[in-house]
């Protein structure tokens, strides 16, 4: 059984609609740790030692957050900057993350069609996530395709609940190692693994 750490970042969780549903109750599942960063560090004063211990204790790391300016909310960047140290996460002696899995769970306002060369966002989600892919490479981690919920401004509750079901399926699959990683590697989104089997 693999252990999963969800690093959740939402600076206005109270007002969130989608993420409230997605995140609700996931930590009731065995093997899943939900770490709400803005709740843990209201002053952004990240406890580096504690965070590194937490990462150490898990096999799969998920950045779960709304997609802000094609990236993460500020605290996750702060987390990367401070926790992923040279000599710990990367460098000659930095092998603590080696072999762990990492990917993102995103909610984005734009539809998928907006994220292509013809769309107003010009680039695909995968292109925009390159810095994270490279972060994984440098830390010798296995990068998995992102799980994306698009069109959050117009999505219905029913659709969100469907995404939630997929999310839970995904978490259970990763935890129980029932997901075919070779198949997954060829997918653009993690979602596709479930929708076009």
Partner 1 sequence: MEQGGFFFQALVYLTAAVVAVPVAKKLGLGSVLGYLLAGIIIGPFLFGFIGEEGQDVMHFAEFGVVMMLFLVGLELQPSMIWKLRKSIFGLGGFQTGITAAIIMGIAIIMGFAWQTGLAIGLTFALSSTAIVIQSLNEKGLMKTEAGQNAFSVLLFQDIAVIPILAILPYLAIKGLVTETTDVAHHSSTWVDGWPIWGTTLLTLGVISTIIFAGKYLISQAFRFIAKTDLRELFTIAALLLVISTAALMTMIGLSPALGTFVAGVVLAQSEYRHELETDIEPFKGLLLGLFFIAVGASIDFHLIAESPKLIFGLVAILIAVKFVVLFVIGYFFKMGLDKNMIFSFSLAQGGEFAFVLLSFSTSNSIISSDVANPLIAVVAISMALTPLLMLFNEKLIQPRFGTKESVKEADEMQEDKKVIIAGFGRYGSTIGRFLQANGVYATYLDIDPDNVDLLRKFDLKVFYGDASRNDLLKAAGAAEADLLIVAVDDPNKTKEIVATVKKNYPKLKLVVRSQSFLSSYSLIEQGVDRIQLDFLDSALRMGTDALCYLGHRRHESFRASKTYRKNVEKFIPELSEVWQDKSLLISEAKKRMQFLEKSMLQEKEDFHKEKDMGWDASDIIKEFGEGKI
85 in contact with partner 1 (CB under 8 A): yes
135 in contact with partner 1 (CB under 8 A): no
Pick the stretch among 20-28, 87-95, 129-137, 161-169 that binds partner 1 (CB under 8 A).
87-95
Nearer to partner 1, 4 or 83 (CB): 83
Of residues 174, 161, 177, the one with CA closest to residue 24: 161
CA distance 189 to 172: 17
With a CB cutoff of 8 Å and minimum separation 6, the contacts of 127 are: none
45 in contact with partner 1 (CB under 8 A): yes
131 in contact with partner 1 (CB under 8 A): no
144 in contact with partner 1 (CB under 8 A): no
Nearer to partner 1, 32 or 136 (CB): 136
CB 187 within 8 A of CB 193: yes
83 in contact with partner 1 (CB under 8 A): yes
The nearest distance, CB 81 to partner 1, in angstroms, is: 5
With a CB cutoff of 8 Å and minimum separation 6, the contacts of 118 are: none
With a CB cutoff of 8 Å and minimum separation 6, the contacts of 133 are: 143
- Tell which one of 2, 17, 24, 86 touches partner 1 (CB under 8 A): 86
CA distance 79 to 60: 16
Of residues 76, 68, 23, 69, the one with CA closest to residue 46: 76
Pick the stretch among 82-90, 112-120, 143-151, 158-166 that binds partner 1 (CB under 8 A).
82-90
2 in contact with partner 1 (CB under 8 A): no
Dig out the tokens for 37 from the structure: 């960063």
Q: Where on the chain is the footprint of partner 1 (CB under 8 A)?
A: 43, 45, 48, 80-87, 91-92
């Amino acid at each position: 059984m693999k252990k999963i750490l969800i690093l959740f970042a939402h600076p206005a969780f109270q007002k969130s609609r989608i993420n409230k549903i997605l995140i609700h109750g996931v930590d009731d599942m065995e093997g899943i740790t939900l770490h709400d960063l803005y709740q843990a560090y209201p002053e952004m004063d990240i406890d580096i030692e504690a965070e590194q211990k937490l990462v150490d204790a898990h096999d799969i790391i998920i950045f779960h957050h709304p997609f802000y300016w094609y990236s993460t909310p500020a605290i996750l960047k702060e987390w990367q900057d401070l926790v992923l140290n040279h000599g710990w996460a990367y460098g000659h002696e930095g092998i603590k993350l080696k072999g762990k899995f990492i990917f993102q769970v995103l909610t984005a306002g734009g539809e998928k069609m907006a994220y292509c060369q013809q769309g107003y966002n010009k680039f695909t989600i995968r292109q925009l996530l390159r810095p994270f892919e490279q972060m994984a490479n440098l830390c010798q981690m296995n990068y998995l395709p992102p799980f994306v919920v698009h069109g959050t401004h117009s999505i219905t509750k029913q659709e969100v609940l469907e995404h939630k079901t997929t999310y839970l399926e995904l978490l259970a699959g990763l935890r129980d190692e029932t997901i075919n990683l070779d198949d997954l590697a060829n997918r653009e989104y993690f979602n596709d693994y479930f929708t076009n089997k």
